[in-house]
Amino acid sequence: MAVLGPTNTGKTTYAIERMLAHRTGVIGLPLRLLAREVYDRIVALRGPSVVALVTGEERIVPPRTQYWVCTVEAMPEGMGTDFAAVDEIQLCADPERGHVFTDRLLRMRGQHETLFMGSDTMRGTIAALVPKVQFMHRERMSELIYSGQKKISRMRPRSAIVGFSVENVYAIAELIRRQKGGAAVVMGALSPRTRNAQVDMYQNGEVDFLVATDAIGMGLNLDVDHVAFSSLSKFDGRRMRPLAPNELAQIAGRAGRGFKSGTFGTTGDAPALDDGVARAIMDHQFTPQNKINWRNHALQFGSIDRLIQTLEAKPEDERLVRAREADDLRALKALGQVTEVFARASDGPSVKLLWDVCRIPDFRGISHAEHADLLERIFCDLHQSGQIPDDWLARQIKRIDRTDGDIDALSKRLAFIRTWTYVAQRKGWTGDESHWRGATRVVEDRLSDALHERLTQRFVDRRTSVLLRRLGQKEAMVADVNETGEVTVEGEYVGKLDGFRFRADKGAGGAEEKTIKSAALQALAPQFHLRADRFYNAPDTEIDYTEQGGLMWGNAAVGKLVPGGDALKPQVEVFVDDVAGAEVAQKVQRRLQHFIDRKIAALFEPLLALARDEALTGLAKGFAFQLVENFGIIPRAQVAEDVKALDQDARGALRKHGIRFGQFTIFMPLLLKPAPTRLRLVLWSLAKGLNEFPESPPPGLVTIPVEVDAPQGADTMAGYRNAGARAIRIDMLERLADMLRGEDSRGGFEAKADMLSITGMTLEQFSELMQGLGYKAEKGEREKVKPVDMTTPKDGTHKVMDEAADTQVPEKSASDAATDDAPDKPVMDVAAEEPAGGITADPAAADPADVPEPVADIPADGIAPVAEDAPEVPKAEEHIPQVSEGETPQGTAADASIAAPETEVFYTFTWGRAPRANNNQRRGAAGGDRPKGKGKPRKGAPRGDKGAKAQNFSARPPKKEKPIDPDNPFAAALMGLKDNK
């Protein structure tokens, strides 16, 4: 009987039912994969003890076998079973394997029942070749509808995309992985174990797409709703040819199973189907197959040549066409040309053995020559010793037994092991058949599992697949956020939660990233509210701001500062994903605003108190307003006229707020600390609208390099004043000015130890700083004189010099008697050279009421200032020790008179800027509120302590000199200096 009809008519199921109705039976199937599927179905019904599976590479034959499930090539002959069936009988027309199906059509019969299942196109041929055949037509159980051409990106779930080459299948699977989360891969070259594992992923819903070759057209039962062809032509082993409508229908028929309708169409580079072809597929109307391939089965093994002649015999029936030269015939012809093989194949049994060897499939597909070489070695071993040597076979298998490498490497090894699996299945070819069958099966299974794993890793993104499926179900997804912010949705890692913004996994890209973000944000909605509550109740110690105005919660950026209506009242812009909702964003915004408001209130408390002081009136109130606008620091030259206009009462009111009127800067010392400085730079940058904010200097440095590209005013806001290549801290600059005030800036002076100490510089560095402040530095060298405190008499005893009687204590410098303010009339013309600004030392121009007192605390850089009573370095001529006659100064060598004297470098500083002629400008730049008509500075260089006597306008009595400590080791020298003065 011939059961004919389109796909999805239940023909194979009907055949299985008919076979099980008999005591024994055999069924031949077109693919090893389909044979395994049918075997599993029958085993589930009757148990494994009565069901055999025989394919080219697999042989499971229980002792009590009743039902044989085989590939068509492996169907045993002459068994005399009650039932026999051949599926997909239309493959008689296949150019490669058609002659095998034709042979089964002509010669395979069951004792009681024979079935041929296939397409209606075979009706005429079967009727002509099989006498008394009966036909059963089965209708398709569901409709098959053509849906046109679609992009892969728009392919709906439960679709199968068909390619006709390995490269094409891999490319499509990779594209689907990126866009849809992944696909299962099914190819005829896969082992049943790998194929089943891939199909299970698809059937279980782990992936929604299947990418396959035309192997799925051969009866594989899959839950496919749509079949899309990526190409309409294929390589048939000889040439590229277009697919016939009936071939397309065989594949398209996989869509829709049971009573569920399916669709088919094209995708990728494949054009849309012609209307006629599409209609033929939907109506199952195809051109009958009147010609089928045939090869003579009555072979004669008298010699190689005779065997070849019988294989190439011509058919007698007009419907039969001699098959083209197959691989086995090609191999036979090649081996027949080998002298040793020809000599061995000299009788019937040896020729038959040679033919059996030639029928080993070329699974490797390397080349015909290499395949022939392998067959030659196998034939010679079998002919000589009756079996393949165990040691050689073991080496071949061991070489393949590796699971490293990529998909291509594993696929090649799997093809190689299939060759040895086929050899191991041949009865009598190996010494221990069961051992070698098991050994090859273990290696094939191991390679199959590794290949499945690699295919899954490359073509399946389980994360995206799971998320897409849950999104499609429109159910609430479960998200979890760990302590480090890593987000998992439905157990899959999707990215990281940075504050209140979700960062998708960087490994994702394109549509995959979009899917992940969509699923993650949907699942994270409740997490945002929980996190917002925790953030709102977090202490201020967990929140901070960056030097670029960012607002951080731990390591997460949660917002940034933006300008507000008042420079001291910036606003907050939060970083919150839209999906979190307005409630979360408002809660985060309120918490950050509270934080920055409290931070400003704490660090700028003196400045805010100044702004709130209602007791300030008139000019003092206006000056306070300017100071607040400038964050507590104003260059004195900028407000010179305003300072000049302030009377002593106004100044006193401002001083109560900690304001210091320095010679160069009006500032609040408390705001020079690192924390207020860091915040001041941020607020100032916001007010200026800068894109990149200057960073605050490291705390504790007295001088820092000048940033050439820094915005104007950044040095002042950082608490420094530029002086050439370096900038000096404004409070230390005022202390340095106090020291220089007592020096002769016209006649020249040298740097004192105190000056080097407060700046933390070497003499060379200090000279560069002084030049940046407007001084000239003249470098010189002189003989270095070592102080001698002890002499050695001729008798060898030591004698201590007592100079206490000749030592005088020097009077205090101007800085020792200073108040907390710099003079309104400076000792130099600041306005003449602003902004660089020099420091002069003209005490005559100083207003003692505004001269700052020395700061007693240690500078932030850890360099302690020189004590007030520290002695100055005496001049060389004042320290020549008096050595008595006959005494040799201690430490002096006997030949010192002929040794070269040791020299030292020194610098002489003089004021290097010519003041302007306009006295008003000079007074204004210095911020002078000096009484009119008194103490007008003369033109030219500023006078020092060795010039004309400075006028003192202070009503404050001079400070009492500090007594010299008799325990001071320099007491004698100090007394001598005082007397000389």
**Residue range 645-658: mean pLDDT, rounded:** 92
What tokens does 358 get? 């030639």
pLDDT above 90 (res 378)? yes
Mean pLDDT of the chain: 80
pLDDT above 80 (res 671)? yes
**Residue range 611-627: mean pLDDT, rounded:** 91
Angle at 734 between CA 975 and CA 826, to 5 degrees: 90
Q: Is 291 or 800 the better-scoring residue by pLDDT?
A: 291
Q: How far apart are CA 817 and CA 956, in angstroms?
A: 10
Q: Is 156 or 43 the better-scoring residue by pLDDT?
A: 43
**Residue range 597-601: mean pLDDT, rounded:** 95
Q: Is 869 or 596 the better-scoring residue by pLDDT?
A: 596
Q: Which residues pair with 634 in a beta bridge?
A: 666
Rounded alpha-carbon distances, angstroms, from residue 135 to 106, 111, 241, 445: 16, 19, 32, 42
What tokens does 500 get? 């209140």
Residue 195: band (very low, low, confident or very high) from pLDDT cuts 50, 70, 90: confident
- Predicted confidence at residue 815, as pLDDT, reads 36
Q: Is 386 or 520 the better-scoring residue by pLDDT?
A: 386
- Give the 3-state DSSP-derived string for 521-576, with helices as H, strands as E and coil as C: HHHHHHHHHHHHHHHHCCCHHHEEECCCCEEEECCEEEEEEEEEEECCEEEEEECE
Tokens 């390591």, located at residue:
555
pLDDT above 80 (res 914)? no
pLDDT above 60 (res 74)? yes
233-235 vs 113-118, strand pairing mode: unpaired
**Residue range 739-745: mean pLDDT, rounded:** 89
Find the range with the poorest average confidence among 187-196, 546-555, 647-656: 187-196
- Predicted confidence at residue 283, as pLDDT, reads 87
pLDDT above 50 (res 825)? no
Helix or strand or coil: residue 243? coil
Instruction: Tell me the backbone φ, ψ of residue 7, rounded to 5 degrees.
Output: -70, 165
In one-letter notation, the amino acid at residue 286 is: F
- Predicted confidence at residue 155, as pLDDT, reads 87
Tokens 């005399």, located at residue:
80
- Give the 3-state DSSP-derived string for 569-582, with helices as H, strands as E and coil as C: EEEEEECECHHHCH
Tens digit of each residue's pLDDT (9 = 90 or more) over 267-311: 988 899 999 999 999 988 888 999 999 999 999 999 999 999 999
Provide the percentage of residues in the chain whose pLDDT is more than 70: 77
Looking at 287-389, list the stretches that DSSP marks H as alpha helix, in order from N- to C-terminal side: 304-311, 327-336, 339-344, 348-358, 368-385
- Predicted confidence at residue 794, as pLDDT, reads 46
What tokens does 728 get? 């000096």
pLDDT above 60 (res 882)? no
Q: Is 8 or 699 the better-scoring residue by pLDDT?
A: 699
- Predicted confidence at residue 491, as pLDDT, reads 66
Tens digit of each residue's pLDDT (9 = 90 or more) over 215-233: 787 766 788 999 999 998 8
Task: Quickly count: other Cβ atoms within 10 Å of residue 13's Cβ.
Answer: 12
List CB contacts of 916: < 8 A, sequence separation 6 or more: 829, 831, 832, 922
pLDDT above 50 (res 804)? no
The answer to whether 182 and 132 are in contact (CB under 8 A) is no
pLDDT above 60 (res 832)? no
Q: C-alpha 295: how far from its chain's center?
A: 62
Q: How far apart are CA 417 and CA 487, in angstroms?
A: 44
What tokens does 769 get? 């700083």
- Predicted confidence at residue 962, as pLDDT, reads 54
Q: What is the DSSP letter of 943?
A: P
Q: Is 854 or 83 the better-scoring residue by pLDDT?
A: 83
Give, rounded to a whole angstrom, the gap between the first and last alpha carbons of the chain. 139
Residue 190: band (very low, low, confident or very high) from pLDDT cuts 50, 70, 90: confident
**Nearest partner of 608 among 568, 660, 652, judged by Cα:** 568
pLDDT above 80 (res 597)? yes
- Predicted confidence at residue 468, as pLDDT, reads 61
- Predicted confidence at residue 811, as pLDDT, reads 38
What tokens does 46 get? 């009757």
**Nearest partner of 305 among 354, 360, 369, 373, judged by Cα:** 354
- Predicted confidence at residue 152, as pLDDT, reads 86
Q: C-alpha 307: how far from its chain's center?
A: 66
